[in-house]
Amino acid sequence: MTIAELHAEAPSGTTETLTMAAALNRALSDAMLADPSVLVFGEDVGTLGGVFRVTDGLAATFGEKRCFDTPLAESGIIGTAVGMTMGGLRPVVEMQFDAFAYPAFEQIVSHVAKLANRTRGAVRVPMVIRIPFGGGIGGVEHHCDSSEAYYAHTAGLTVVCPSTPQDAYSLLRAAIEHPDPVVFLEPKKLYWSAGEVDTTHVARIGEAAIARSGTDVTLVTYGTSVGIALDAAEVAASEGRSVQVLDVRTLTPCDDETIFAAVRGTGRAVVIAEAAGFASVASELAARIGEYCFEFLAAPVRRVTGFDIPYAPPKLERFTLPDVDRVLDAIDSLNWGDE
């Protein structure tokens, strides 16, 4: 049975338990069913179904004109996609691993991000660049990196990072429908995590979400680190502290309103991210909170990040990425008065 036949038999308005990889696959197939201008291409995304099987079955269902393999040339993949948008198509391209995207960086920064501004809006670039990113899988060199700051720093790009299968589905559908380019960061460690997915749920790019309510401190994070924050919140709760967890979801444009309201409500904030701390997304979040929530803060904003070193090899990865103990230490370092 093809993907289209499976979806036709699924009852509408119901939820399914899907892994994040399966939720992304469902989002791609639903978008391709809904809009014939949507097509998917990249390295090994066709017959193989992608390294992480996110595109599994798409070529068989939609044909090789709408889901196809490309040469091992990332700059060519992105450049081709830009030309396709000018012809009225909506390409979704896959960069096989985060560090594999660097050869395409010039195309992304000079053309994908700037064409709309360069032409005063006459040429829009409605494309999605899917990038498996981050650590936690023991990947060898060039197969794991946290490159979000490069894209978030580049005006003209929208940068999205889901942490749940539901957000993976809903945000990818929103990204494909977006009129401008979206860099869609997919946490590799979470591809096999499972959760309930409602395919009728509509998500809006640019909205953060409260993953856990709390009154004493807000953990601001995204991607794989959301799970670390939730685990730390459970431990902190056993010690009598009420911890709120905020999932940023869209790195740019950043949902300042939700983030600031959350931090002002607790008076304390810890920002958590896998990437190195210097000149990072975590730096920007901490700076914005410090600038716009200063009078509400009982303590300086803390950051828990990866170390400022090249991405660690597989056997050392666990020593460099944020974990529950480091988050709890950051919480403990906040000003708790005489308790």
Active site residues: 143
Angle at the Cα of 57 (from 56 to 63), degrees rounded to 5? 125
Left if phi > 0, otherwise alpha if psi is -120 to 50, otherwise beta: which for 271? beta
Task: Give the Cα separation of 313 and 177 in Å (integer).
Answer: 37
SS (H, E, C) 77-139: HHHHHHHHHHCCCEEEEECCCHHHHHHHHHHHHHHHCCHHHHCCCCCCCCCEEEEEECCCCCC
Task: Give the Cα separation of 187 and 24 in Å (integer).
Answer: 12
Angle at the Cα of 90 (from 86 to 93), degrees rounded to 5? 110
Q: What is the phi/psi pair of residue 177, to 5°?
A: -85, -10
Task: Give the Cα separation of 185 and 9 in Å (integer).
Answer: 30
Task: Give the Cα separation of 221 and 219 in Å (integer).
Answer: 6
Would you say 17 and 194 are in contact if contact means Cβ atoms under 8 Å apart?
Answer: yes
Would you say 147 and 188 are in contact if contact means Cβ atoms under 8 Å apart?
Answer: no
Task: Give the Cα separation of 140 and 23 in Å (integer).
Answer: 26
Reported residue count of the chain is 339
Residues of the chain by 3-state class (helix, strand, coil), percent to 5: 40, 20, 40
The alpha carbon dihedral of 66, 88, 52, 12 has a sign of negative
